Amino acid sequence: MILSTPTLSKEQIQAALADPRPGLRAQALMSPTDRLDPELYRKGSIDCRRAAVLLLLYPHRDELHTLLIVRPDTMPNHPGQVAFPGGSRDEETESVLQTALREGQEEVGLEPAQVEPLGRLTHIYIPPSHFCIQIQVAYTHQRPRWRPSPAEVAELLEIPVAHFFDRANWQSVDVSIDEQQRTIPYIAIGGHKLWGATAMAIAEFVVMIEETAVSESKE
């Protein structure tokens, strides 16, 4: 089922986030590993390092959009990666929302006062770096005026949410890792490949909305 995402309302998204989320089952659709181990997630999430990203939704050109950024090739970590604005928690007392909004302001000039938090997706645990990434979903009533930081952002990608619901954009590529051939799923965005944790978060968002719509149609 492909949902008519341009008519998807803020209230529908907020309601979907309040229901049980599909979690690892949906994230696995875009995971670079064969399966996601719930026990590994549980154990790793106890003392993992914390980070947060912002899945921001906003109206633009009569469609619901979200923002992705392309990291500069000069960055020491994840150069050239397509990702949501976000980063590590600064201090122990900083909340997920505070981290996501601070990073959004630092990286793309987003004004926190414009943002309405809607809820969170299931966190993603990254075993190699021992990071837990929280995905804060939020909304602004109008397209923000972006002011990207050249040190952290090489390119802004404003993507219609409907793009992610079209399974034709869910693709894969065979790559050699440690002399082993592996199939890596990704979401095609023009000349960019969106994969890893960001694609896993998008997969959960899409499945969550689709399953909520199916459930409501049966009531």
Q: Does residue 114 sit within a domain? A: yes
Decide if 172 contacts 29 (C-beta within 8 A): no
Q: Does residue 59 sit within a domain? A: yes
The per-residue pLDDT for 176 is 75
The per-residue pLDDT for 6 is 41
Give the three-class secondary structure for 67: strand
What's the one-letter identity of residue 116? E
Expressed as residue numbers, the domain containing 93 is 5-160+195-211
Q: Does residue 18 sit within a domain? A: yes
d(CA 2, CA 167): 8
Residue 62: give its domain's CATH number: 3.90.79.10
The per-residue pLDDT for 74 is 78
Phi, psi of 71 (to 5 degrees): -75, 145
Task: List Cβ neighbours of 62 (8 Å cut-off, separation of 6 or more).
Answer: 6
Q: What is the pLDDT along the chain (219 residues), one digit of tens a residue?
A: 344 444 688 999 999 999 899 999 999 999 987 678 999 999 999 999 999 999 999 999 989 999 999 999 877 666 789 999 999 998 778 999 999 999 999 999 999 999 999 999 999 999 989 999 999 999 999 999 999 999 999 999 999 999 999 999 999 998 877 777 888 999 999 999 999 999 999 999 999 999 987 666 565
Q: Does residue 30 sit within a domain? A: yes
The per-residue pLDDT for 219 is 56
State the helix-helix crossing angle for 196-217 and 10-18, rounded to 10 degrees.
100
The per-residue pLDDT for 110 is 98
The per-residue pLDDT for 188 is 97
Q: Does residue 155 sit within a domain? A: yes
Q: Does residue 134 sit within a domain? A: yes
d(CA 193, CA 212): 27
> Based on the structure, what is the number of domains in the chain?
1
Q: Does residue 218 sit within a domain? A: no
d(CA 35, CA 165): 22
Alpha-helix residue ranges (DSSP H) falling in the chain: 10-18, 24-27, 38-44, 96-108, 162-165, 196-217
Decide if 69 contacts 85 (C-beta within 8 A): yes
Task: List Cβ neighbours of 211 (8 Å cut-off, separation of 6 or more).
Answer: 22
Decide if 60 contacts 67 (C-beta within 8 A): no
Q: Does residue 175 sit within a domain? A: no
The per-residue pLDDT for 177 is 72
